[in-house]
Chain A
Amino acid sequence: MKEEIYERLNKVFRDIFDDEEIIVKPETTANDIEDWDSLEHINLIVAIEQEFGMKFNMNEVTTMKNVGEMVDIIIAKTR
């Protein structure tokens, strides 16, 4: 189940950052991907919301620390 989520996430990331080589892991943070700044963050969030049909709330948007936390939220909300 988690693997599938990571697969779909990879697609979104590669799309947003225009980089076919991206592979995200639980420890991945904004520091690891070059164009992932506060501006791109929102676009990424929105794209993920659309991909998984759920919504992050603002609290989660501003406090999530890495991809791992992001995935936990996705799982919790798509149950």
Chain B
Amino acid sequence: MNLISIAFLVFCAVTLITYFIIPKKFQWIVLLLSSIIFLFYNNLSIFTVVQALLVLIPSYFLGRKIEGNSNTKKGKRFLILGIIIIVGQLICYKYINIFIESANLICELLHSDRKFALIENSALIGISYYSLIMISYLIDIYRGTCKSQKNIFKCALFMSYFPILTSGPFIKYKDVENDLYGEHKFNYDRALKGFIRILWGVFKILVISQRLGMYVDVVYSKLTIFSGIYTILAVLAFPLQLYTNFSGSIDVIMGISEILGIKLPENFNLPFFSKTITEFWRRWHITLGVWLKDYIFYPLLKSDDMQELNKKCKKKFGKKVAKKIPLYASMLVMWIIIGVWHGGAYTYIIGSGILQFIFMVLEDLLAPVATKVNSKLGIKEDVFSYKLYQVIRTYLLFAFAMIFFRAESIEQALFIIAHCFVWNLNIMLDEEFYYVMPKIIGLDRYDVRVLIIALVVLFIVQLLARKGDVREKFLKQNIVFRWGVLYALMFAIIIFGCYGEGYDATAFIYREF
């Protein structure tokens, strides 16, 4: 179910109303039924039901077995079994076509006529999220951090809680257990806050992200036409498009969950104010970072093998270097996993994996060097201008890596990069530019104006967010202001939102009149 659709609107309305009408002790059941509907919407088949059960059944039974055996060899065996099953099915459903393609490639090399058909992707929505969440569930039980859920239906709800299925965040059992199964009274203030957050999310998606996407999509699909300033603009616009889309979806999800009374962890914390890539990943897709840190990074670093490596390096290279080597090794593993999690293509592994790793390692290594150089040159590091430079630098680094993330292949990414180095700013001085461009790009000067204003609004809200809870402050204002802003937001979405006709690549019918 698309987050921005009539179907989802109706679905949420029905769920919310039912949720607050029925007796509170059945509220979790409403959530479970809604989640099942959402999970199997337009995708109900034996195939998909088995897919879901393949994670639920082992998680539930192994979870109960591991409890009571936490931190023991026996428990570990159950844990490893569970992880293998879950990771196995994730690889199967998500990456099966890569394997089939590889198999076909091998057959070709062996001059065999065998060709395997690609399987149509009917992976359940949220499979990448609920798989990792259930792994964290089992691990937490093993560590004694939480207890297992004895009721298989309640366990199913935890696995399929519908707000999570679209884009996360990654939740931990211990953090949501009470809210998820608890009783919730309708709270007007909380619902209002949730509603505002949903509006804001929709605004980011429909007015900003979709619009930016129109431009970026055209440039990336017609690579040979565009170069120089156009390509650069597309490269710079994509992180914004990605951010407003992703964080906008999260806002909608968090708003809905807030109305229900179920608190979820934040996934974004003003990432574009980061001064380094390292800091960036503590502000972007936060829950993914936490998941990796708690379940991969720390265990890896703490593992005996890593400690062995550390000792050996200490002997050879001394303490300072020895500290870094297992660290960087673990980071590399982590980043490759992140890259693969995003998608089984080299563009993801490079763009949201290896490049990020390289940036972070360079930052770690060069930071002390930079400090020395800056102090010698008299460059102050704790002033606004320097921090501004750092923020811009971080954005540029991220935008560069995202070229690979967005491109369809490595060649395409390199092509884009090469095409940035063309000087054609002077084209913008030509009158014709402003008539021809909208036809090709699909964005006319009105779109550009709306975009600029919307981005300014976004920026101001983010500046305010640095100081505190914007919604809290907003709700304290007088009614005329509050209602005025809400109406402005709602009508900005209705009028300027990129939905309906005129927003597919080919049709700009209203222009024909």
Determine whether A and B are in direct contact in the complex, meaning some CB atoms lie less than 8 angstroms apart. yes
Q: What residues of chain A have their CB less than 8 Å away from a CB belonging to chain B?
A: 38-39, 42-43, 45-46, 57-59, 61-63
Q: A58-B294, A58-B302, A59-B143 known; 16 other A-B pairs, CB under 8 Å?
A: A39-B327, A43-B327, A46-B301, A46-B302, A46-B307, A46-B310, A57-B71, A57-B143, A58-B139, A58-B298, A58-B299, A59-B140, A61-B298, A61-B302, A62-B145, A63-B145
Q: Is the CB of A45 within 8 A of B302?
A: yes
Q: Which residue of A lies closest to B295 (CB)?
A: A58
Is A58 within 8 A of B143, CB to CB?
Answer: yes
User: Within residues 113 to 162 of chain B, which ones have a CB less than 8 A from any CB in chain A?
Assistant: 139-140, 143-145
Report the Cα distance A61→B297, complex, angstroms: 12
- Residues of chain A lying within 8 A (CB to CB) of residue B71: 57
Instruction: Enumerate chain B residues within 8 angstroms of A43, measured Cβ to Cβ.
Output: 301, 323, 327
Per-position binary interface string of chain B over residues 440-469, scored 1 when its CB falls under 8 Å from any chain A CB and 0 otherwise: 000000000000000000000000000000
CB-defined contacts of B293 to chain A, threshold 8 Å:
38
Q: Contact: A57 with B144, CB < 8 Å?
A: yes
With A57-B71, A58-B294, A62-B294 as known contacts, state yes or no: A42 contacts B144, CB within 8 Å: no
Minimum CB–CB distance from B218 to chain A (whole Å) comes to: 41
Count class of interface residues, chain B: 10 to 19
Contact of A59 among B144, B297, B301, B302 (CB under 8 A): B144
**Closest chain A CB from B325 CB (angstroms):** 12
How many inter-chain residue pairs (CB < 8 Å) link A and B?
34
Interface 0/1 of B44-77, CB less than 8 Å to A: 0000000000000000000000000001000000
- Which chain B residues border A38 with CB–CB below 8 Å? 293
A38 to chain B, nearest CB (A): 6
Q: How far is the CB of B382 from chain A (nearest CB, A)?
A: 14
- B307 pairs with A62, CB closer than 8 A: no
Query: Which 3 A-B residue pairs are closest in the complex by CB-CB distance?
Result: A59-B143, A42-B301, A59-B145
Q: Is the CB of A42 within 8 A of B302?
A: yes
CB neighbors of A among B55-103 (8 A): 71
CB distance from B329 to the nearest CB of A (A): 13
Task: Give A49's nearest chain B residue, CB to CB.
Answer: B302
Compute how far the CA of A58 lies from the CA of B139 in the bound complex, rounded to whole angstroms. Answer: 10
Q: How far is the CA of A63 from the CA of B143 in the complex (A)?
A: 12
Inter-chain contact B307/A42, CB cutoff 8 Å: no
Using Cβ atoms and an 8 Å threshold, which residues of chain A touch B297? 42
A-B contact pairs, 17 of them (CB 8 A): A42-B297, A42-B302, A43-B301, A43-B327, A46-B310, A57-B71, A57-B144, A58-B139, A58-B143, A58-B145, A58-B298, A58-B299, A59-B143, A61-B298, A62-B145, A62-B298, A63-B145
Task: Kindly state the separation between the CA atoms of A62 and B140 in the bound complex, as whole angstroms.
Answer: 11
Q: Determine the distance from Cα of A63 to Cα of B294 in the docked complex, in whole angstroms.
A: 11
Residue interface mask B305-329, A partner, CB < 8 A = 1: 0010010000000000001000100
Q: Could you mark each residue 287-299 of chain B with 1 if its beta carbon is under 8 Å from any beta carbon of chain A, else 0?
A: 0000001100111
Q: Which residues of A lie under 8 Å from residue B299 when comparing CB positions?
A: 58
Give the docked Cα–Cα distance between A47 and B120 (Å). 51
On whether the beta carbons of B323 and A42 are closer than 8 Å, the reply is: no
Q: Distance (Å) between the CB of B141 and the closest chain A CB?
A: 10
From A63, which residue of chain B is reached at the shortest CB distance?
Answer: B145
**Most chain A beta-carbon contacts within 10 A, residue among B144, B302, B327:** B302
B298: A residues at CB distance < 8 A: 42, 58, 61-62
Closest A residue to B330 by beta carbon equals: A42
| Closest B residue, CB atoms, query A39 | B327
Residues of B within 8 A of A42 (CB): 297-298, 301-302
Instruction: Select from chain A the residue with minimum beta-carbon distance to B323.
Output: A43
B66 to chain A, nearest CB (A): 13
Closest A residue by C-beta to B71: A57
CA distance A59 to B145 in the complex (A): 6
Cα of A44 to Cα of B299 in the assembled complex, Å: 14
Please indicate the chain A residues that have their CB under 8 angstroms from the CB of B327 in the complex: 39, 43
Bound Cα distance A61, B299 (Å): 10
